[in-house]
Amino acid sequence: MKFLPVFLDLKNRPCAVIGGGEVASRKVSLLLEAGAKVTVHAPAVGETLRRWIDDGKVGHVAREFSPPSLDGCALVIAATDDKAVNRQVSDAARERNIPVNVVDQPDLCTFIMPSIVDRSPVIVAVSTGGASPVLARLIRARLETLIPAGYGRLARLVASFRDKVKQRFAHSSRRRQFWEEVLQGRIAELVYSGQEQAAEKALQQRLDAVDGGQPPVGEVYLVGGGPGDPDLLTFRALHLMQQADVVVYDRLVSPAVLNLIRRDAERIYAGKERDNHAIPQEDINHLLVRLAREGKRVVRLKGGDPFIFGRGGEEIDTLAAEGIPFQVVPGITAAAGCAAYAGIPLTHRDYAQSVVFVTGHLQDGTVNLNWKALVQPRQTIVFYMGLHGVETICRELIRHGMPPTTLAALVQQGTTRNQRVLTGDLQTLPSIVDKAQVKPPTLIIVGDVVELQGRLKWFEPSAAN
Ligand code: SAH
């Protein structure tokens, strides 16, 4: 190990920053966040530093650097663009045994500054030992996505219960078990979603209940998995998928998204193929209830958004009736995902001022829709589940007054590496489906905006995840 990672307590300690530019001001800002008493040494300072100095937040020595000015400092950072001055600072600090960092000159440093993820009081620091600050920043960016913003709040809640929990458990191993369960379970989830009072109450209840040996209550997370590209998941969806005990998923959820589920989570396929539901809806609803009653964290993973043609409402209705706690995580719906990846803006000032999402699902061979409301000028129509009924859809739109030359697009498996976009008009669409053997899941977009596709397409499926 080239450097020993430590966390310094700099509260009210004198620190010196040499240099008055932008880089210096960033370092000053960090030191201020750690509560240090900062003095800037520079004949001239930039705007940000000037403001802090005028506000009295930061001290200022408006002279060229002189070594004795470091006397008594707890820490020194040199951030000038003059190499000679930087070296002078480094030498002066070393002579006085003061830790010194010189920005971008590792050979002059006795300590280096890590990239940090700040979830105070939780801080994650990343260092590559000076080898590559860019790599450190990339790692930090990955960690940012993995560590929910609520970790800081969670740490504060834990701190406020620490003594109580300590008293309750005689053995440290039981105590550890208790905290592991709290930090990975429903109580932590409540904190992440901003429900801190509920979390505190649940933690107290949990603590009161431990001696009685009551099993913990599970929870169901109804999660939108987006249209296919795993990069389109929300941070929250990913986070819940990575800590689930069991995931109940639909056919629409792409393999690339399924790949992100925690390795040892149980996976249950709930089907949802046309006319071939692997598990009837009623049974899915009750399966979720049963799993949660077993104390499990259940992710109910759906394609797109759970509240858009996802029957999410029905599933949580049963949960609500049975008193099972649940949360809903939105996802990017197929219309938004397919439109973006096909290069078809659903609204556009020159083409369409409104967009409607409708189901094209056939019941008894007919599509029972309010066609008059659909056939409006300057309106884009997006049909979900419309492939099977494409012929009826095109015929009815024409019958209710839409020009047969109105443009339409088919987007098959949008946002994935198998995406296909085919365009035509209301007359040609059914035969395109036939000839090109278009398969579900496919979205149908009808309206003048389809014209833009030729100019605005950008996505290369073969290069996708
Ligand atoms: N809840 C989902 C929709 C479920 S209905 C959502 O918000 O996206 C299923 C229909 O969605 C499919 O028949 C198809 O029309 C559409 N669909 C879902 N994912 C799609 C994709 N990746 N590409 C094209 N269409 C998709």
Of the residues 27, 229, 245, 272, which is catalytic? 272
Q: What is the CATH number of the domain that holds 356?
A: 3.30.950.10
Does 143 reside within a domain? Answer: no
241 alpha carbon to ligand 1 midpoint, in Å? Answer: 20
DSSP-assigned states of every residue in 357-409: EEE---BTTB----HHHHS-TTEEEEEES-STTHHHHHHHHHHTT--TT-EEE
How many angstroms separate the Cα of 445 from the Cα of each of 21, 384, 385, 409, 420? Answer: 53, 9, 12, 5, 13
Backbone φ and ψ of 444, nearest 5°: -110, 125
Does 176 reside within a domain? Answer: yes
Q: Which residue has the higher pLDDT, 145 or 173?
A: 145
Range name among 60-69, 207-216, 386-395 with the lowest pLDDT average? 207-216
Residues 182 and 228 in one domain: no
Length reported for the chain: 465
Does 99 reside within a domain? Answer: yes
Please tell me the predicted confidence (pLDDT) of residue 211.
66
Query: For residue 280, what are the domain limits?
Result: 217-332
- The answer, yes or no, to whether any atom of ligand 1 lies below 6 A from the CB of 223, is no
Please tell me the predicted confidence (pLDDT) of residue 437.
97
> Quick one: average pLDDT of 421-446?
98
Which secondary structure element, helix H or strand E, spans residue 87, and what is its range? helix 83-95
Q: Long-range contacts of range 101-107, CB-CB < 8 Å, 24 or more positions apart?
A: 101/75, 101/76, 101/77, 102/77, 102/78, 103/23, 103/27, 103/77, 103/78, 103/79, 106/130
Does 127 reside within a domain? Answer: no
Question: Mutation test of ligand 1: which of 232, 251, 252, 332 has the most ligand atoms closer than 8 Å to its C-beta?
Answer: 252
Does 3 reside within a domain? Answer: no
Residues 346 and 444 in one domain: yes
d(CA 213, CA 439): 52
Share of the chain above pLDDT 70, in %: 96
Q: What is the CATH number of the domain that holds 177?
A: 1.10.8
Does 309 reside within a domain? Answer: yes
pTM (two decimals): 0.71
Q: Which residue has the higher pLDDT, 361 or 357?
A: 357
412 in Cβ contact with 423 (< 8 Å): no
Residues 106 and 152 in one domain: no
Residues 314 and 343 in one domain: no
Rounded to 10 degrees, the C-alpha dihedral 302/305/308/313 comes to 60
d(CA 451, CA 419): 19
Q: What is the CATH number of the domain that holds 236?
A: 3.40.1010.10
Residue whose pair of structure tokens reads 């431990």 in the numeric block: 210
Residues 320 and 245 in one domain: yes
- The answer, yes or no, to whether any atom of ligand 1 lies below 6 A from the CB of 410, is no
- The answer, yes or no, to whether any atom of ligand 1 lies below 6 A from the CB of 330, is no
How many angstroms separate the Cα of 102 from the Cα of each of 37, 63, 134, 247? Answer: 19, 19, 17, 50
How many angstroms separate the Cα of 440 from the Cα of each of 41, 251, 306, 380? Answer: 67, 11, 18, 21
Residues 344 and 445 in one domain: yes
d(CA 359, CA 443): 10
Residues 342 and 295 in one domain: no
- The answer, yes or no, to whether any atom of ligand 1 lies below 6 A from the CB of 225, is no
Give the residue from 173, 191, 214 where a domain finishes: 214
Q: Where are the alpha helices (DSSP H) in 147-274?
A: 151-168, 172-184, 186-192, 196-210, 235-241, 255-258
pLDDT digits (tens, 9 = 90+) for 250-304: 999 999 999 999 888 899 999 855 555 568 888 899 999 999 998 888 999 999 9
- The answer, yes or no, to whether any atom of ligand 1 lies below 6 A from the CB of 389, is no
Residues 62 and 108 in one domain: yes
Question: Mutation test of ligand 1: which of 222, 390, 443, 446 has the most ligand atoms closer than 8 Å to its C-beta?
Answer: 443
Does 373 reside within a domain? Answer: yes
Residues 188 and 106 in one domain: no
Work out the angle between the directed axes of helices 172-184 and 196-210 (0-180°, nearest 10): 150
- Give the residue from 254, 219, 225, 228 showing the smallest Cα distance to 241: 225
Q: How many domains does the chain have?
A: 4
Give the residue from 302, 332, 362 where a domain finishes: 332
Residues 458 and 340 in one domain: yes
- The answer, yes or no, to whether any atom of ligand 1 lies below 6 A from the CB of 302, is yes
pLDDT digits (tens, 9 = 90+) for 96-143: 999 999 998 989 999 999 989 988 889 999 998 878 888 988 898 888
Task: Kindly state the DSSP code that residue 108 receives in the 8-state scheme.
Answer: G
Residues 168 and 286 in one domain: no
Of the residues 229, 250, 296, 302, which is catalytic? 250
Give the residue from 332, 364, 395 where a domain finishes: 332
283 alpha carbon to ligand 1 midpoint, in Å? Answer: 22
Quick check: is 54 catalytic? no
Which band of pLDDT confidence, cut at 50, 70 and 90, is reported for residue 338? very high
Q: Output the six-digit token pair for 172.
A: 């440290």
Count CB atoms within 10 A of the CB of residue 360.
20
Please tell me the predicted confidence (pLDDT) of residue 276.
59
Quick check: is 9 catalytic? no
Residues 324 and 340 in one domain: no
Does 50 reside within a domain? Answer: yes
